[in-house]
Structure 1
Amino acid sequence: MKRGQNTLQSRSSRLHSIDKKLIQLLAERSQLLARDARERKGNDKSYVDPEKEKKLWSLWRQGLEEHGLNERILRRTFNLVNSLAYEQAERREDWVMALHPRLEAVDIDLPGPVDTVKTRLWLIMGAVLGRDVRIPGAVLNDDLIELIKACNQAGAGMSWDQEGASSGTVCPQFDHSSIFVGQDPLNFYLLLGLSLTSPAVCRFNGGARLKSESMGFLTDVLAEFGARQVFLVPGSDGVPIRVEASGQVPSKVRVPEEAPDEFVLALLLLAPVWARANGEFRLVLNADLEQFRGKHHLIPIWSQLGAVWEQDGKELIFSGSELTMPQQPEVGLDPVLAGYVLAMPAFCGGRVLLHGTFPQAGPERDAFLELSSQAGLDVDVREGGIESKSGGMPKADLRLSCRQSPRLIPLALALALAGGQESILGLSSGQDMDFAAHILASLGMESEQITDQELRIRPARGRQREDLAVTAPNACWSLGLALMALAGAKVSIKNPGVLTSLWPQFWTLYKNLPRPRAKSLAGEDKKEESGHGPKRRRRIVD
């Protein structure tokens, strides 16, 4: 028994040693390939050098014969490892931002951030139906600008300025076009859906995030439209991809089990449009519509369009009724972006009033209101706005769960920190668990993993000794860290630009605390006013 334990420990030790070397080699490889990719981009070429990839893959292929590895899995690993380098090449130059907000009671009275997903969905519908839709106050983040530029590459007339975004009246035409859709999967699936409605041969490409997406499930769906896709990188099932569409709209489509939510959302948005081709369109989901997380985006849009639909179990049936497009649809506030600002009184007191319609439903809306209640915030949802004030004390048994709304996990952690008492945090992934534990340890707080998705947090026993300087895993973690600084934590963010890509105006708002005003925010917009112009400028507030 003892010999077996020693053997197991020896294997574990070897694995740990190999993985350490592997990570180091991956980092070195990514840096070299990223450097070459940046040089190519500087010469107006794509990041990817096909000839170099072929030579590198030939080396990997030798491993197939020498070590008996699975070719399909190894090819996918090769593409993913390359994506590490291309993601580095695409990453914007950043610097460390030390967060030193004024620790005073906030007094915020501003238009709230408009829902970033609904904005894109409405612009697509406006272009498809040939009606110029205007979204005032649209958050001009990277996903929106990339969608507008991608549609305009297909001949659409979308545009943006500091006051919002417009769809134009021209529907994208995809035949003989080559479209770069950026990083976001939803943007890709929206344009892919549009490309299927008329005969066309087109090509889609995207950034490192899209290149690592697995899109093999598209084969069956496109076949129902009389279309087919060709993955242009051997062994890959992501972009770049060529689509050959016949323009046939089927009367019924079944959603594959492995299809991501972004693809389902795109299908559901376009379903009322496709219904007009045959008088009816049926979409068979993998579960009841009530279980689909994106339904709160769609139902208000269907209602404003006048779409006629009914549900029969997992099947949605759309009639080919005429769709009426409002010139200025009601988009509403983004519950996540608004939620981080509305939570500020829990850290430093004061009040926040955001103008706009707060959503009536949705998992992130519900999660924010529950977190606010747990933290003792007084939140008043009213017609035309939402207000939050510092209310009573946090609940004695503080349980902050965000398993169904992972983008609010950083907010929950920040509220637990501000509460200063023992609490339990519900998370959705091991990555969030590890990062949360690292943050807490750096701030002098104790934590204990109770289950795979629960973390017990205990109050700090002493003061924070050193500044916490971290790279935020995503934009929402940057928002959470900004709130922790309002609670007195000494925090520096090594990549503030990751939040700028999601919400360009936040750092300006943060810099002007405790009393930011709309005029100061309007003067700091990061995007140029254009739909076709040169590359946009980016400003990061420090």
Structure 2
Amino acid sequence: MFDELAALDSKIVGLIKERSAHLAKIRAKGGLDSVDEKSIWSIWQKALPKTRGGAGIWRKLFFLLQDLVPEDESIDRAKDGFLLAPRKGPYAFTLNAPASLDGMQCLAALGASAEFSITPAVVNERLVQTVKAFNQAGGGLYWETDQMAGRGASELAFQDKSVYVGDDTLSFHLCLARALAEPGSVKFTGGHQLKTADLTELARLLPRLGGRLVNIIPGSKGLPVRIESAGQLPHDALIPDTLPQEAVLGILMAAPFYPEGLTLRSESASSELLGTLQFAELILRACGIEVALDTSGTACSIAVKPGTPVIPDTLPMDPYLTALLLALPRLEPSRESSISLAGSWPGQTGPYRNAHTLLEAAGVQIELVGSHVRATTGPPPEGVPHLSCGGNAGLFPLSFALAAALPESTLDLPASQEDKYTCREVADIIGLRIEEAEGVLRVSNPGSQDYSRTEPWVALNAWWAMAYACIAIRRPGLVLADPSTATDLLPRFWNFFNTLPAPEKDVFFLPRREAEQETHEPEPKGRRIRIAGSGPRE
């Protein structure tokens, strides 16, 4: 039975490759028009299951196949991967930590019409896409090599616009929430990840905010969508427990622009939601917006007053990247490493607190010294430590990397099947044992690992790519298939990794001479500044 299944899968893979190559040839000659695409979709419609869940999976599969780019057959993945061979420790360095990456996107939304400048800033693909999306609605944002800035602009106008938000979920929610402030309709389009996203919970919430979500493709749950808004926002709204955290954050970043602000309430606040609310409070207060967060009891609420944001010069360091850097003393086997990061570390706030708890559970000692946070290796954890992420999905890959450095530990069950499969995949590569029991993942390290396997591994996302690199500190010789998976999020991550054990203090930012060579002055009335090699993620 298994052999038959394997044979079928082999045929399916071959057909998918053949279809992708044929579709690429058609697009090279002018592409499919809407009539052709509808005709192809009608073939799929005839085969759709009658059950709603099954039909949704088939639709998602169709959209994924339409966006699949054929792989260059001349590339030998077994030879062309990126070898992970970091220099041995101990590591002892001080770095200027990048500011919160999500926070920078929030500042772009809050300052779309303002005059400001933030330098240095990590200008990654997500931030670029947020800037481009708001500029399509009349924003005055621009970016340079290590700078995000605003030249000032009139009020945003989303009415009757078509806004492309790429493949970034937060960019979409930041723009959508801002569009609710004015009456009219706006169309949002995006990449394949947002085309296959499930926006059901968002569609259920919008009527409470005076809006309506209309799927342009019948039966689809993702983009493209049309958002219709009455421009009349309520004083408060109850948010469902299942609403994505990016949607919550997007609404709160738009709330200062609503005529009377907005209060969001939840009847049963999860740790993930509390972390999002605390993070939003941190960003809004940094911009001078009045916020009142109430987390007493099982319910919670956050009230945001209307006001004009004043964009700060910087933000606290990124909680997820900082956690990865502070974990190095445990991941590096000498147990003599010491890492110091310059910047603000609000250790009792949302994701920062969860990162702090995770690191201490793994035996990393964290201390605040003036304007720095310092990490050293503490005593090994006793017993079988539980490496919890507190509901922060961005911390989960790091928790797995820390588990790989310990004899035995348990992890939170990942929320997504993709993360669960990735755990098992990486465990097989590096020789870990992993089993699901009593609501946790139990990870054990037998100590005897096969170092001969170096086939390139395709990372699920940037955080998994960086966690895999950290695993290579103890297990050198791992190979990553596509290093750009990490640089899309953190452009100079490999500059840092390849200069261990002594990276420069500003390794995550371009040297001043290089930055001056790549600086572009903003156009007087332009919407975007284009830099070679920059653009939305496809």
Q: TM-score, normalised by structure 2?
A: 0.83
Residue 309 of structure 2 corresponds to: 325
State yes or no: 1:285 paired with 2:272.
no
Cα distance per residue 1:480-503 (max 9 Å; x no partner): 111111113320011221111111
| Greater share of helix | 1
Return 177-186 or 524-533, whichever deviates more: 524-533
Residue 467 of structure 2 corresponds to: 480
Residue 140 of structure 1 corresponds to: 123
1:169 aligns with one of 138, 147, 152: 152
Cα distance per residue 1:440-493 (max 9 Å; x no partner): 333334444434522130332355333353211221111111111111332001
Cα distance per residue 1:374-404 (max 9 Å; x no partner): 3333322233221222344444544323362
Return 428-437 or 305-314, whichever deviates more: 305-314
- Count the aligned residue pairs: 512
Shift in alpha-carbon separation, 1:400–1:224, aligned structure 2, 3 A: closer
State yes or no: 1:537 paired with 2:537.
no
Query: Contact (CA 8 Å) 2:123, 2:146: kept in 1 or not?
Result: no
2:69 aligns with one of 89, 113, 117: 89
The 1-side partners of 2:211 and 2:223 are apart by 17
Query: Contact (CA 8 Å) 1:123, 1:133: kept in 2 or not?
Result: no
Residue 271 of structure 1 corresponds to: 255
Query: Contact (CA 8 Å) 1:357, 1:385: kept in 2 or not?
Result: yes
Residue 517 of structure 1 corresponds to: 504
2:413 maps to a residue whose letter is L
Matches within 5 A, 1:133-212: 133-170=116-153, 171-212=155-196
The 1-side partners of 2:322 and 2:63 are apart by 33
Query: Contact (CA 8 Å) 1:403, 1:427: kept in 2 or not?
Result: no
1:424 aligns with one of 392, 405, 410: 410
Residue 441 of structure 2 corresponds to: 454
How far apart are 1:268 and its partner, in Å? 2.3
Residue 353 of structure 1 corresponds to: 340
2:85 aligns with one of 100, 106, 113: 100
How far apart are 1:294 and its partner, in Å? 0.5
2:285 maps to a residue whose letter is S
Identity %: 24
Cα distance per residue 1:112-140 (max 9 Å; x no partner): 0211111111221122xx43233333322
Return 206-215 or 191-200, whichever deviates more: 191-200
The 2-side partners of 1:310 and 1:515 are apart by 42
Q: Calculate the aligned-residue CA RMSD, in Å.
A: 3.5
Residue 237 of structure 1 corresponds to: 221
Residue 56 of structure 2 corresponds to: 76
1:440 aligns with one of 416, 419, 427: 427
How far apart are 1:110 and its partner, in Å? 1.7
Residue 277 of structure 2 corresponds to: 295
The 1-side partners of 2:389 and 2:291 are apart by 34
Gaps of 5+ in 1: 1-12
2:467 maps to a residue whose letter is G
1:436 maps to a residue whose letter is C
SS of 2:200 mapped into structure 1: coil
Return 27-36 or 191-200, whichever deviates more: 27-36
Query: Contact (CA 8 Å) 1:216, 1:237: kept in 2 or not?
Result: yes
Gaps of 5+ in 2: none
SS of 1:213 mapped into structure 2: coil
How far apart are 1:29 and its partner, in Å? 5.2
Cα distance per residue 1:49-86 (max 9 Å; x no partner): 5333311222223336xxxx317556533430123225
SS of 2:111 mapped into structure 1: helix
